[in-house]
Chain A
Amino acid sequence: MTTTASRRHTETEEPHWVEWATGLISALLVIAMIAWVGWEAVTEENTPPEFSTAVTGRGPVEGGYRVEFEIANKATKTAAAVVVRGEILDGGNAIEDADVTFDYVPAQSKSSGAILFSQDPGSREVRIRAVGYTDP
């Protein structure tokens, strides 16, 4: 293994200015990133997940009816295994419900999905809400 001895790299003594410029920019970026995360660490309040849902689209599919929706988590904590239930309400009574589970709804982010009903809700109200989650 004599080759290993010859495979040593020696950095040049007088580096090009570009190397220093890149180093400086990188250093600034790293410091900025650490400062940002650090600032967040200090100021962030740990609010439990808080969901809001909005229907984004609907339409018939084969053998049923699809209601697409978005679920947003405004809080600073991520929720895992979020179960979302969609219900078709007729005069306050749920005549059909269907569940969907999201692996994650990250903090301050949105996830989207769809619920498939067996019937067209028509003019009846569709209620979509999160019914539970676990901490990741």
Chain B
Amino acid sequence: MSGVTAAQRGGDMGETRRFLIGIGRGAAGAMLFGMPMLMTMELWQLGFYIERYRLFLLLVANIPLLVVLADRIGFERTSTWREAFRDAMIAYGLGIVMSAAVLVLLGDIKPDMPLSEMLGKIAIQSVPASIGALLGRSQLGGQAGDDRGGEQEDKGGDGDAVPNEISTSYSRELFLMGVGALFLNLNVAPTEEIILISYKMTPWHAIAAVIVSIAIMHGFVYAVAFKGTHEMPEETPWWHAFFRFTLPGYMVAMLISLYVLWIFGRLDDTAVTQMLMPVIVLSVPGAVGAAAARLIL
């Protein structure tokens, strides 16, 4: 919090200063959002046994994701793709540094380990940590945090008072749902439990899980009115939003689940029906994450 008060004191604080505070928040975000994964045994193990082409794909796919996300909620209010790219790289870098630091602190990385094991462990953790770094910037920012930038930024994040109307466009909305789903999925997908639950569930449980996930998604965003809740114009029937946002959102959550499970090698040599079950299981937290992302981001 000292950073925030310092920021308030320095009325006309320089760009550099503000940027450094942004970095600090990013690092805090990387820790906050990355910690559950940094303390997950399965992810350490994945770090050395994951096939390298899958890890590569995960790391590369993270770049456009961060760039688009940075365009929404960057370290600075970004207006160009170049700035968004810069912010994305800063977040990725912070994710890598924080992951490495925490893994060393936890004694999970030791100097006598082979280099590829160290790199693998850090690389796989850097993905959620980098998303956390970007989210930390936007969510830990707080209302008093940026004196001048704050107001401007909040409006910008919202998209309706600012020229870049595109920011709440349909594809962007689906993208944010994807990020939310991905984030929660990365938390739970590596654990043994997802697979175990899918084996314990009967098809009837699976159907119930699908229906409950969709209901949660819709309820989260439209019914229970959290802050940032989306409103429908009065005369529009409820099922408009259901078809236009909730169902596509659920499909996005399922796709992300499929992607994450494949990355972690959970679907190898598995029959199609058996693949569907863990995807449905993982889509439950995915749906919650997707809905939350629409509210928070």
Q: Is the interface of B mostly helix, strand, loop or mixed?
A: helix
Measured as residues with beta carbon below 8 angstroms from the partner, the interface class of chain A is: 35 or more
**Contact present for A22 and B199 (CB under 8 Å):** no
Contact status of A10 and B233, CB under 8 A, knowing A78-B199, A110-B269: yes
Interface check B247, CB cutoff 8 A: yes
Interchain nearest-CB distance for B245 vs A (Å): 8
Question: When A and B form their complex, what is the total count of cross-chain residue pairs whose Cβ atoms lie within 8 Å?
Answer: 125
Query: How many residues of B are in contact with the other chain, CB < 8 A?
Result: 48
Q: Given the complex of chains A and B, what is the CA–CA distance between A106 and B261 in angstroms? A: 15
**Contact present for B271 and A107 (CB under 8 Å):** yes
Interchain nearest-CB distance for A38 vs B (Å): 6
* Proximity bits, A22-37, B CB within 8 Å = 1, else 0: 1111110110011011
Neighbouring B residues of A136 by C-beta, 8 Å: 196, 199-200
* Proximity bits, A1-24, B CB within 8 Å = 1, else 0: 101101111110101101110111
Q: Given the complex of chains A and B, what is the CA–CA distance between A44 and B158 in angstroms? A: 49
Kindly report which residue of chain A lies nearest to residue B197, judged by CB atoms.
A136
Report which of A3, A103, A106 forms a contact with B274, defined as CB distance below 8 A: A106
Q: Given the complex of chains A and B, what is the CA–CA distance between A36 and B206 in angstroms? A: 11
**Contact present for A9 and B228 (CB under 8 Å):** yes
Interface check B229, CB cutoff 8 A: yes
**Contact present for A80 and B228 (CB under 8 Å):** no
Query: 8 closest Cβ contacts across the A-B interface?
Result: A41-B203, A23-B243, A108-B271, A26-B247, A136-B199, A9-B230, A78-B199, A26-B251
Binding site for B on A (CB under 8 A): 1, 3-4, 6-11, 13, 15-16, 18-20, 22-27, 29-30, 33-34, 36-38, 40-41, 44, 78, 80, 103-104, 106-112, 136
15 A-B residue pairs with Cβ-Cβ distance under 8 Å, sorted by A, are A3-B143, A6-B155, A6-B161, A7-B158, A11-B245, A15-B244, A18-B170, A19-B170, A23-B245, A30-B214, A30-B247, A37-B206, A41-B203, A109-B274, A112-B269
Binding site for A on B (CB under 8 A): 143, 151, 154-155, 157-158, 160-161, 168, 170, 174, 192, 195-196, 199-200, 202-204, 206-207, 210-211, 214, 227-233, 236, 240-241, 243-245, 247-248, 250-251, 269-271, 273-274, 276, 280
